[in-house]
Amino acid sequence: MKRLRNLGSRTGRIQHRLRQFIETLTAPLRTVAETEAAVCLVGTSGAVSLEQLFHRMPRAEQRHGLRVCRRLRARGFTAPDLLAAGLLHDAGKIVYPPRLWERVAVVLLEHYLPIVGRWMAHGYMRAFPFSLPGLDLQQAFRVRRCHPCWGAKLAANAGAGERTISLIRRHHSTAWFDDEELAALQDADEA
């Protein structure tokens, strides 16, 4: 029975990643519900500047942020700071926008060779023996590791409140100490 659950879990995870891949691939062709983004920022400090930050994000990150915001609202969360964090949690990726194939490589390495993924994320494998032209895995793992802090700084510069900044900074953290909103943000991000 446990094997069936694990197989179902793996299959679901693969389907989730395939949906993410297709969404990222087709995002430039799709529109973004800008009015919905503005609604996610209602009641937050610096809403106008935060909306400008949202517009600087790549289309795939904008659409993902909107999906996270929708999931949070569907689960009954209405706190403006949480909804703003849901919308902007990946804003840090505008610092170094990862290319699609780099995203795929990071996900595959983290899943199938997690030790290599951890080493690269911490900068221990500067000369990765399997590098390919146009594929900067070191930079891709740096973006994966650092985008929450970069996003928090961008949100702070745009006038976000402390709670929004904190949620963005910790959205990949494994230590959330009974923070219901952070747990909800992480769940919505992974759904």
Domains of the chain, residue spans = 2-190
Q: Which amino acid is at 127?
A: A
Handedness of CA 70, 72, 74, 79 (dihedral sign): negative
For the full predicted model, state whether its pTM sits above 0.85. no
Handedness of CA 80, 31, 141, 97 (dihedral sign): negative
pLDDT tens digit string along 87-104?
999 999 999 888 887 878
Question: What pLDDT sits at residue 4?
Answer: 41
pLDDT tens digit string along 159-190?
999 999 999 999 988 776 788 999 999 999 98
